[in-house]
Amino acid sequence: MKLFKHARDNNYAIPAVNCTSSSSINALLESAREANSPVIVQFSQGGCHFLAGKGINNPKDTQDAAVAGAIAGAHHVRIMAKHYGVPVVLHSDHCSKKLLGWFEGMVRADEAYYAIHGEPLFSSHMIDLSEEDLKENVEVCVKYFKRLAKINCFLEMELGITGGEEDGVDNSGVDSTKFYTQPDEVHYVYKSLRAISPMFSIAAAFGNVHGVYKPGNVQLRPEILGNAQAYIKKAENLSEEKPAFFVFHGGSGSEKDKIELSLTLGVVKMNIDTDTQWAYWDGVRQFEAKNREFLQGQIGNSKGADKPNKKFYDPRAWIRKGEQALIARVQEAYRDLNSINRLAVASKL
């Protein structure tokens, strides 16, 4: 809460990167250490299932494998963050109505962890019922937020639809008018959740799209966020210029000027997935292209028919190249979000 308030008041945001393995988690923590700033490690339902292992059955109702992967990933982050020396917000990403079994499992794990340690296992969770009507969306959020508030866990909710496709959620055919949230809708959410706790953020749609797109194909309108802030301030008779915490979804490929403007309007978190996926793969791709002759067999290359190639096909060699490329891409995100060296002012958080 203090971190997000400091970010909102000082016009910067924290990058939130989807992780699917210990490799991507460690690379993200390393990038945060290099930037000397906090980071948000987040897991999608699909990412959690992958963390657990695709060989484990994942029933649609209870989402056992995804829950197990989320818990395993959370404990890995908690252990390794201490060694990297960076503060981490541990977050679960989009949870649609059909995935509420996964959400329920994580909240139960949070409650059990809180009973022992006095804090939840995760820092925050996201409920994404943007495909449902507004009333149901808010009712479900309120229901779970009452539980989260008791254990000091933050809630992110989605309002309006983020276009494109990510992790099996495909909104590419949705009416584009739903990509832009109205101020009165944001106020309705704010008022409903603020009555329970101030520990929440709103992923309000302002033209956001998941995935990759050509410049000009998506019309981002971050001024929508400013209009919503003004509406809330007036309706609630508040002194704060930016009473709400906003989240920028679909950050990959977004125009730099739109990102910069959004930071002045209350965005405290920006999601990045597609660009970091590509960066990781590109690091591996370049390694393979450079060392192709050493990756065609266990023995034999231009240096001799009996020369071993183990140091090239050892997964640690090419995985590390993927990690380094991801680290570099996240550094770019830190710069875009005005978030470099924020631990230098840690005493103010």
The pLDDT tens digits for 209-255 are: 756 655 555 688 999 999 999 999 999 999 999 999 999 988 666 78
The pLDDT tens digits for 247-280 are: 998 866 678 899 999 999 999 999 999 999 999 9
Decide: 249 and 267 in contact? Cβ < 8 Å: no
Burial of 118: CB neighbours in 10 Å, binned 0-12, 13-18, 19+: exposed
Structure tokens at 81: 């963050």
> Of 37, 6, 12, whose CA–CA distance to 267 is shortest?
12
Burial of 347: CB neighbours in 10 Å, binned 0-12, 13-18, 19+: exposed
Structural domains in the chain? Answer: 2-285+329-348 (3.20.20.70)
pLDDT score at 24? 98
Q: What is residue 26's DSSP assignment?
A: H
Given pLDDT bands bounded at 50, 70 and 90, which one contains residue 177?
A: low
- Average pLDDT over every residue of 149-164: 86
Q: What is residue 199's DSSP assignment?
A: -
Asked about 93 being catalytic, the answer comes back as: yes
Task: Please give the share of the chain, as a percent, with pLDDT higher than 70.
Answer: 90
Cβ atoms < 10 Å from Cβ of 260:
14
> Of 107, 118, 140, 89, whose CA–CA distance to 271 is shortest?
89
pLDDT score at 219? 81
Q: Which position among 61, 93, 184, 306 bears the catalytic label?
A: 93
Among the residue ranges 60-74, 129-143, 159-173, the one predicted with the least confidence is 159-173
Q: How does 42-79 read in b/e, with b if 16+ C-beta sit within 10 Å?
A: bbbbbbbbbbbeeeeebeeeebbbbbbbbbbbbebbee
Q: What's the predicted TM-score (pTM) here?
A: 0.92
3-state class (DSSP) for residue 280 = helix
Structure tokens at 215: 């410049």
Q: Return d(Cα 154, Cα 149) in angstroms, integer.
A: 7
